[in-house]
A = this chain, B = another copy of it.
Amino acid sequence: MADKPTHSAPKARLAKGFRDIEADEIRGLKQMLGMIEEVFELYGFDPVEQPLVEYTDALGKFLPDEDRPGEGVFSFQDDDGQWLSLRYDLTAPLARYVAENYDRLPKPYRSYRHGWVFRNEKPGPGRYRQFMQFDADTVGAASPAADAEVCMMAADALERLGIPRGQYVMKVSNRKVLDGVMETIGLSGPDHEATRMTWFRAIDKLDRLGRAGVAQLLGKGRKDESGDFTKGAGLSDLQIERSLAFATATEFSARSVEGTRIGAEGAAELEEMQKIFAAAGYGEDRIRFDSSVVRGLAYYTGPVFEAELLFQASNEEGQLVRFGSVGGGGRYDDLVSRFRGEKVPATGFSIGVSRLYTALNHLGRLQAARAGGPVVVLVMDRSRLPEYQRMVVELRNAGIRAELYLGLSGLKAQMKYADRRGASLAVIQGDDERARGEVQIKDLAAGARAAEIIGSRDAWREQRPAQISVPQTKLVETIRGWFGSRQT
């Protein structure tokens, strides 16, 4: 039910499941996105962006079959009665764009974009209703060479971000191979759809539950530590054995799909990708087959891949766990085709930006993104504000980040302000200094954060006191010298 509208003072509160992003994160993200872009550009990908709002039917997947579109997306009606939705990923809008502009685009068409997407879901810890994705896609290339390229590009991007080789892996599998495996164990066809879903969910838990746990989930079922029982897929021992043989193999074996046409196709695609990786010098330490990649199978039609970070980090419960997936993708040949009634093959990769940002922060890769605090010129005499302003302008003209204290408070509060701002230096000119044509420059030793960043400050302080007076004409020169010394 709708809240009754009130006209009293509104409460200042974020909408449920949304969040604000503050300076350090914005600067870090900017740095991170820039590095990824660099790699994508090197690969010949061009940027293109779609709007955040699309017709609901153009987004697909969540087609309205009732008066209100399905759950999972935020939707609203236009004044002419058509349903609009906030995009829930970047792929569906791209498919719409390519289909709409097909004739004038180069084919194959390589593109990249990052942007906000929205999910109308129950928010949880670290799960927001607005989050950012960074996608790259090649549309119009049926060759596994296009899939291989996307994998190599993702690996290069991770290395460009400073994730050492061996600390990440691009895991590759193929939807057709999985279909082949299903066929060999007798689970193909529409009758077994529910069982296949149970199968995929079980295999996806290999990392966490191990062979024995997954075998239970594939068989009669499994009781977890809390005593909850999960019903199993009901497979025979032979089916379970073949499933686990496939799912735990470190190398792909064509035997797992023996005798199935779809499986052979998938195996050939894997092999073609493998040849390209080898020729291009991307060994198993960077990209390798992994049968556990079973993501989004309703969607992908061929190769599937996942970027996994291998180092350990604390999870929300404080346990050390492998960092895990920061993105994934695969071939989705039906998404553009459904608009055009002709085959338009496509493949792509999507990075979960927040997750990757958390990983880079964990590795300490984004510290340089912190901006230096400004120089703050304090206001000792409000009637001389224009003069203080002029000092600030002189500093800025010399390329020094500087600001005038703009509040109405006294010296103590101004010093506290400078500290909160992470300021490195404060400039002070009271009546006495002014009479002598001087300014005081105060090294804000109190700023604990500043101390972390400026390693060489001690050296500077040895030579000079924490507070010095210089002729006003030497203000810029002195401060420039100070910043120069802190860089060495």
Contact = CB atoms under 8 A, between A and B. Distances in A.
Interface of A: 1-3, 5-7, 9-16, 18-23, 26-27, 41-44, 46-55, 57-58, 60, 63-67, 74-84, 95-97, 99-101, 106-108, 110, 116, 118, 120, 129-130, 138, 140-143, 145-146, 148-149, 152, 156, 272, 275-276, 278-281, 338-341, 371, 374, 376, 385-387, 389-390, 392-393, 396, 399-408, 417, 420-421
Given A55-B13, A108-B407, A143-B385, A48 B20 contact: yes
A10 B58 contact: yes
A396 B452 CA distance: 37
Contacts of A81: 1-3
Q: Which 10 A-B pairs have the closest CB atoms?
A: A44-B403, A279-B386, A12-B99, A18-B51, A44-B374, A141-B406, A106-B420, A12-B339, A26-B47, A12-B100
Given A9-B338, A51-B14, A55-B13, A110 B403 contact: yes
A79 B16 CA distance: 11
Contacts of A404: 145, 149
30 contacts: A5-B63, A5-B64, A9-B339, A10-B338, A11-B58, A14-B96, A14-B100, A15-B53, A15-B54, A15-B55, A15-B78, A20-B48, A20-B97, A21-B48, A23-B47, A26-B49, A41-B401, A42-B399, A44-B401, A44-B402, A46-B371, A51-B130, A75-B76, A108-B406, A141-B406, A143-B406, A149-B406, A276-B385, A276-B389, A280-B386
A53 B18 CA distance: 8
Contacts of A64: 5
Given A26-B49, A44-B402, 4 more contacts: A2-B77, A2-B82, A10-B58, A15-B58
Contacts of A2: 67, 77, 81-83
Contacts of A20: 48-51, 97, 101
A275 B386 contact: yes
A282 to B, nearest CB: 8
A57 B10 contact: yes
Given A22-B48, A42-B396, A149-B404, A417 B107 contact: yes
B67 A13 contact: no
